[in-house]
Amino acid sequence: MGQQETFGLLRVAAASPRLRVADCATNAQNIIDLMAQAEGEGVALLVFPELCLTGYTCGDLFQQQALQQAALAALAQVRDATSDQFSGVAVVGLPVIVQGQLFNTAAVLYRGQILGIVPKSFLPNYKEFYERRWFAPGPMASRKEIELFGQSIPFGHDLLFGAAHWDAFTFGVEICEDLWIPQPPSLRQALEGATVLVNLSASNEVIGKAAYRRQLVTSQAARCLAAYVYSSCNTDESTTDVVFSGHCMIAENGVLLAESQRFRRESSLIVTDVDLQRLQGERVQLGSFGDTAVFHRAAEPLRRIRFLWEARSAPARLARTVEAHPFVPRGVQDLRERCEEIFHIQVAGLGKRLLHLNKPTVAIGVSGGLDSTLALLVACRTADEIGMERARIQGVTMPGFGTTHRTRRNALTLMKLLGVSCREIDIRQLCLEELRALGHRPFGIDLAGLPVEEFSERIRRLPVEQQHDLTFENVQARMRTSLLMNTAFVIGTGDLSELALGWATYNGDHISMYNPNVSIPKTLVRFLVAWAAEHEFTGAAQATLQAIVETPISPELLPTTQTGELVQATEEVIGPYELHDFFLFHFLRYGTAPTKILYFANQAQFDRTYTAEEIRHWLTIFLRRFFANQFKRSCLPDGPKVGSVSLSPRGDWRMPSDADVSDWLRQLAS
């Protein structure tokens, strides 16, 4: 089975078993019970706490031969369970004697074998910790192999463990304090290829420590572009002056995917899927990650312990959330903060440009739709911040053949309420004159001597399937841009989603002198306008903004019905924006293959339910349109990058305009 069929996904778990201090046999059985539970959930890599076979708080009992021997017997018991009760890799903690020195170690177990034993490198010996009293630091070990149970076993702090035939599944081990130092061992492990980092810990609880521990785990996952699996001792470890909580976490590249409830009095197991393919892709994109390896290259590389791994198909249902709207934060507070930050970025970018040009009069086309509303709000806030009168913002609404009463009313009302200069230019007659000059017969209609209203009425009577004429639509878009360009410095309104799909008229609505919306996807534009309505305005302005948020998305280029209602809905033509934004995020942010995008999309919970075939259909449309419309993106005007995904030809996305989409479509069809 190839990596493509797994989609690079690996199911990992962190466990915190019930424990009796110094009762190794009982502890081993508790560990085996959790292994059986993890097997039922399809876990491939399972991490237990530091010294989980003995208990972390044994104190001077660590120097007792009875405990040392019992720990080895317990290790053998757990090792044997990996032959028939758990098919994944398990990592457990225990004390091990090597040539007269006692080490705090992690044993890596798989298929009834001990793959290797990693000693703790950095021992805390301050405040409540006295590990140097019993243990030696890992670097002091004089041997690189030890004999246990008649087997020669790799031993040392310089071990990496990697699956044969799947290089992405490579993991490194560190123990508790190793993470808390300025340069943890996991940094070198990641630079030498580890995509998963595991930490066996016994971190006790004091006020504020959990938050700092969480920050350490997520930050190290981000710094190392890796998954980080952290397991800590159960509350049963609590004794004398220290209390433990069983805090377990799993993070991926700075994102906390799973976290246990602390202070539980029973065993706990947290399970999630980590995306090793994505992590490797991130490392490839971030060239400085590979450059860093040169500066940290040691005289001797880490020893890599290979194990035969039977790759597993991607699960039918992931054990992690796939965000249906990856550009939009889920939490109310997070969304509010995100919107505010984006708005400030837009204002800062536009403000710099206007100040550089000595505060020119600006023009903006206001349609009554989401995009132009957001751009107008940004322009108003920018004018306020740079000391420019709002009256120098020339708001121009240009009703055409498809403009509805609703959007026209909202556009005029909004401009009045915001205090900008307001102009209305009916472009219909101008467009007819241009069409006549071109000798064009839109929809097969002869324009000679035909009044605007009669022309519109004749289009309305056409069957819907005949209401398509690209020249007719483009003339309107370019007419609006021409009028704006001859008015003042033009602020653009088009968004990231439209640019990805090529849903813009070349040298029409895709051209401006500065576009503050250029890297904001459609799904987020709606939330930004809603945020502005809720937090920046009251009264009539707030009501108008809320009405705009609820307006269906449309280019409004085809005549309305007799009652002025919309007949042209964008999403009915090109597909749902929530799907296209999902595709766009994974395609650009991670370089995800089409089959994997399809897999993820079928895992996500969208606003409405889509069949697998619908998702496949719209993904095909997305890919075709994205490749076909690069020529429009190659000449984009300036605009601020606000997130991790941008299509600027000067920065994030440089693609030939004539690239072929065939390989992407073939993969999707397979």
The residues, any chain, with a CB within 8 Å of residue 574's CB and separated by 6 or more, are 501, 503, 580, 621, 625
Closest CA to 47 of 223, 217, 232: 232
Q: Are strands 89-98 and 45-47 parallel, antiparallel or unpaired?
A: parallel
The backbone torsions φ and ψ at residue 116, rounded to the nearest 5 degrees and listed phi first, read 180, 165
Q: Report which residue type is found at 152.
A: S
* Cα dist from 513 to 385, 520, 549, whole Å: 20, 17, 26
CB 131 within 8 A of CB 103: no
Q: Are strands 113-119 and 101-110 parallel, antiparallel or unpaired?
A: antiparallel
CB 507 within 8 A of CB 530: no
Half-sphere exposure of 629 (CA within 13 A, CB side): 21
Position of tokens 């849903």?
Answer: 503
- For residues 572 and 564, give the distance between their C-alpha atoms in angstroms, rounded to a whole number: 19
Provide the token pair at 535: 């937090």
User: Is 176 designated active site?
Assistant: yes
Angle at 262 between CA 257 and CA 267, to 5 degrees: 90
The neighbour count for residue 218, using CB atoms within 10 Å, is 20
- For residues 484 and 375, give the distance between their C-alpha atoms in angstroms, rounded to a whole number: 14
Give me the residues paired with residue 11 across strands: 273
Q: Are strands 89-98 and 101-110 parallel, antiparallel or unpaired?
A: antiparallel
Catalytic choice (52, 58, 120, 431): 120
User: Is 50 designated active site?
Assistant: yes
Own/partner long-range contacts of 564-568 (Cβ < 8 Å, ≥24 apart): 564/404, 564/405, 564/406, 565/404, 566/402, 566/404, 567/402, 567/464, 567/467, 568/402
Provide the token pair at 501: 């799909």
Give me the residues paired with residue 140 across strands: none
Position of tokens 């990058």?
Answer: 641
What order of strands is seen across the sheet that includes strand 255-259?
255-259, 249-252, 227-231, 196-200, 170-175, 159-164, 303-308
Catalytic choice (24, 58, 176, 422): 176
Give me the residues paired with residue 117 across strands: 107, 155
Closest CA to 205 of 232, 231, 224: 232
The residues, any chain, with a CB within 8 Å of residue 423's CB and separated by 6 or more, are 394, 395, 396, 397
Provide the token pair at 637: 């005007």
What HEC string does 65-120 produce? Answer: HHHHHHHHHHHHHHHHHHHHCCCCEEEEEEEEEECCEEEEEEEEEECCEEEEEEEC
User: Is 632 designated active site?
Assistant: no
Q: Report which residue type is found at 313.
A: S
> In the chain, count of helices (H) and strands (E)?
22, 19
**H/E element, 21:** none
- For residues 562 and 581, give the distance between their C-alpha atoms in angstroms, rounded to a whole number: 34
The residues, any chain, with a CB within 8 Å of residue 424's CB and separated by 6 or more, are 396, 397, 398, 399, 412
Catalytic choice (24, 50, 252, 473): 50
Per the document, the length of the chain is: 670
Q: Which residues are catalytic?
A: 50, 120, 176
